Amino acid sequence: MTLFKVIRDCIMKPSTKSTSSLSTLLGGSDPAAFLRDYWQKKPLLIRQAIPGFRGLVSTEQLRSLAASEDIQSRLIVRDGKKWELQHGPFAKNFWRKLKPQSPWTLLVQELNFHLPAAEQLLERFHFIPHARVDDIMVSHACVGGGVGPHVDSYDVFLLQGPGRRRWRISGQQDLTLRTGLPLKILKSFKHEQEWILEPGDMLYLPPHYSHEGVAIDECFTYSIGFRAPSSQEWVAEFLSDFAERLEWPGHFKDPSLKFSDHPGELPQAMNQFLAKELKKLHFTSRLIADFNGRFLTNPKPHVFFNPPEKSINMLDFQQQATQHGLRLDPRTRLMYSKEAAWCNGEPLETKHGVSPALIQLADKRYIGPEQLKLTLDKSVDSATKKQIWQWWLEWHEDGWLKIDV
Ligand code: SIN
Ligand code: CO
């Protein structure tokens, strides 16, 4: 089945759309208070964060997604003390083989790339920088299903869809894992708090907070995850990128070399030379921002874009964009700083600062006809305007940006 068919089959009534506000979502806190008091600090249980939330997918639709090669899915089955992990895709007839006595959980990643309703759900969390967004994952479990007690390195909002799930959590220090299992399961989990979450309830957990969810009924849980690279990965990526772009003049010379009858000895002068060269290293804030911009907007390696079937010329593109507006493809990562901007790992030359049109598109991921006229006509010289249209047309050709019809 093509991805297109899967997506079309999965387009549902956007049941996440309700009039509930950000303060309802955050249990009465405004975003600033939530970030100050809970974010990265302590868990928060929010009853009826999204009142009337009925989930984003049915069992049938989820299984269609899990049958696609382009979508990452995993199945976790518990058989007594044994845990099994299988990676998708899972054929449509796979599910008949599951034994009811072994509780299972199906996990499907990156729903926000494949379902407009999931993208809309993610929009509710736009009070957190896009640079921190990972994805929306759904877990579908039969009664008793779960992935065992564990910790995640992410901040996560666990939003309960249809069915109920019991969450147990602990701020324990002992994060030792059981050995010989295909999953990272805590060896000794001693929960400190527990709740049963009903549809629309949500639990926020900071990274490395131990938790275990067990389905009370057949249920769906949506994990809205926010990541940051580990220091190890971040610094290693920076240094390797730096090395790739390095232009370093000079060469070691030793005109005052003294005779020695120990030719096997490493010359001190060579260590001193390298130490001196390394002292010249200076990572400017511009260099760091440029690396971060490219690194943090780089789509994950398995991500690909769907270019439009037909190319469009600039005139038609401008006409349609000013009539309907433009929307970033859900996989596109667009970010900016005061002086620069980056899209999907590529730097954008912004000689006269970042234009309001790009800022609007990066912040809202959408620019409507009115704002498009306003932001492009206002305080933008004709060269910048031309450049922005050029980028947008290229992004459209690459499937990064869509006309919002
Ligand atoms: C689940 O929903 O079962 C797994 C999500 C998690 O624990 O992070
Ligand atoms: Co977890």
Q: pLDDT at position 6, please?
A: 40
Domains defined along the chain, listed by start: 3-226 (2.60.120.650), 314-403 (3.40.366.30)
What atom of ligand 1 comes closest to residue 215's alpha carbon?
3
Q: pLDDT at position 349, please?
A: 87
pTM, 2 dp = 0.92
**Ligand 1 binding pocket, CB closer than 6 Å:** 105, 139, 146-147, 152, 156, 211, 213, 221, 223
User: CA neighbours within 13 Å on the CB side: how many for 64?
Assistant: 18
Q: pLDDT at position 276, please?
A: 98
Return the residue matching tokens 């309907």.
324
CB 72 within 8 A of CB 31: no
What atom of ligand 1 comes closest to residue 105's alpha carbon?
3
CB under 8 Å to 159, separation ≥6 — which residues? 49, 50, 53, 121, 200, 201, 202, 221, 222, 223, 224
C-alpha 166/C-alpha 143 separation (Å) is: 11
DSSP state of 88: S
Both structure tokens of 5: 């068919």
C-alpha 148/C-alpha 96 separation (Å) is: 24
Q: pLDDT at position 5, please?
A: 39
What atom of ligand 1 comes closest to residue 145's alpha carbon?
3
**Cβ neighbours of 159 (radius 10 Å):** 29
CB under 8 Å to 268, separation ≥6 — which residues? none
Among candidate residues 254, 226, 3, 250, the one with its CA nearest the CA of residue 115: 3
CB under 8 Å to 342, separation ≥6 — which residues? 293, 294, 296, 297, 334, 335, 336, 348
DSSP state of 169: E
CB 189 within 8 A of CB 154: no
Q: pLDDT at position 7, please?
A: 42
Mean pLDDT by 10 residues, the chain (405 residues): 40 42 94 97 98 97 96 95 95 88 95 97 97 98 96 98 98 97 97 98 98 98 97 98 96 96 97 98 96 97 95 96 97 96 95 90 96 82 91 98 94
Q: pLDDT at position 201, please?
A: 98
Residue of 223, 224, 226, 227 with the most ligand 1 atoms within 8 Å of its CB, for mutation: 223
Which amino acid residue places its CA nearest to atom 5 of ligand 1? 223
Q: pLDDT at position 20, please?
A: 58
